[in-house]
Amino acid sequence: MSLRLAALPKAKVPPPGEHYDVVIVGAGPAGLSAALYASRFLLKSVVVSEDVGGQLNLTNEVDDYPGLLRIAASELVARFRDHAEKLFGVPIYTNITVQKFERIGDEFYITGTRGLSIYSKTIILAVGARRRKLGVPGEKEFTGRGVSYCSICDAPLYKGKEAVAVVGGGDAAMEGAILLSGYVKKVYLIHRRDQFRAKPYYVEEAKRKPNIEFVLNSVVKEIRGDKVVRSVVVESKDGTVRELAVDGVFIEIGFEPPKDWYQSLGLETDEQGYIKTDEWMRTNIPGVFAAGDAISMWKGFRQIINAAASGAIAAYSAYTYLTQKGLIRRA
């Protein structure tokens, strides 16, 4: 079967003053799945986002998305995008930060950077989460000069270096340490506990690498250097302090939601700032739905498949909301 692909949009921002059935904020797996489904419900849809791919851009390979066996994360992003944009014709506008939405009658007025100024009857927030910071001396100062928040992105820059540190005990830290062990002579995996959140598969693989040293029950106190990072100061639970000579520090300690802007708009969140939804991805504001890593539900199991599923559900709920309110106008 051959597929006829729709033409790509040329404009870089949605036309000012345009009206939509649904505006999807964010273009990770949740946002792009929402776009695909919204289009299938024949809703006039648009995606506005800072980037395309979200946290998939921080992963190397994906081998747990059903049906795709093993796929490069960048390829999966391209496929998600093509599915929503080329096959179903939903325009995707990037490099835009949505800053505000307010209700005006049956619609929301949505504004953001680069002059974003559009109206929509519903909104799906698929805004993901941002990297958590350690908050220790030297971290900010050396960001981009040896401090990195993305092992997958920056590992090749350290090829042939003596040593790096990876901080964290989740999948990202473990995956990063394994990857980095192929580029540098020594990797210190620094974790504040001796139990890991990472999948056992990753932990076992990291333990098999002879050049990964686990520095457990330990926290980073300071990152030191001159023009670039030279060392990291680590304190263990028994009070022992060590200064490890490293060329880089990869901070992989998870994510937090971009809560500041949406909390100020009256969205209900949990204590960590993740958006509260019911099982239909409805938020406390009628007409506003949320999906993906920014939602409180499934917080302990953030997976691509869950993000995609919640995006699909949010689109269905937007459609149901519009239908029940009699807000869909068909030509």
Question: Strands (DSSP E) along 1-141, which ranges?
Answer: 19-25, 45-48, 61-62, 71-72, 92-93, 98-104, 107-112, 117-125, 130-131
Contact between 50 and ligand NAP by CB under 6 A: the answer reads no
Contact between 170 and ligand NAP by CB under 6 A: the answer reads yes
Pick between residue 37 and residue 149 the one whose CB is nearest to ligand NAP: 149
Q: What is the DSSP string of 172-234?
A: HHHHHHHHHTTTSSEEEEE-SSSS-SS-HHHHHHHHH-TTEEEE-SEEEEEEEESSSEEEEEE
Q: Is 153 annotated in the active site?
A: yes
Question: Which two structure tokens, joined as six digits, stand for 99?
Answer: 């800053």
Q: Is 293 annotated in the active site?
A: no
Contact between 53 and ligand NAP by CB under 6 A: the answer reads no
Query: Which residue minimizes CB distance to ligand NAP?
Result: 170
Question: Which two structure tokens, joined as six digits, stand for 47?
Answer: 């995606």
Decide: 293 and 130 in contact? Cβ < 8 Å.
no
Q: Is 64 annotated in the active site?
A: no
3-state DSSP assignment of residue 82? helix
Catalytic residue among 21, 106, 150, 293: 150
Least Cβ distance, residue 39 to ligand NAP (angstroms)? 27
> CA 290 to CA 30: how far, in whole Å?
9
Q: Among 49, 59, 277, 283, which residue interacts with ligand NAP (rule: CB under 6 A)?
A: 59
DSSP classification of residue 79: H
DSSP classification of residue 269: B
Catalytic residue among 21, 154, 247, 293: 154
> CA 5 to CA 82: how far, in whole Å?
9
Span near ligand NAP by CB under 6 A; candidates 106-114, 164-172, 238-246, 273-281: 164-172
Least Cβ distance, residue 303 to ligand NAP (angstroms)? 6
State which of positions 252-311 bind ligand NAP (CB under 6 A).
252-255, 302
Pick between residue 185 and residue 201 the one whose CB is nearest to ligand NAP: 201
Least Cβ distance, residue 186 to ligand NAP (angstroms)? 20
Summarize as ranges the residues that interact with ligand NAP (CB under 6 A): 59, 132, 134, 168-173, 175, 192-193, 197, 252-255, 302
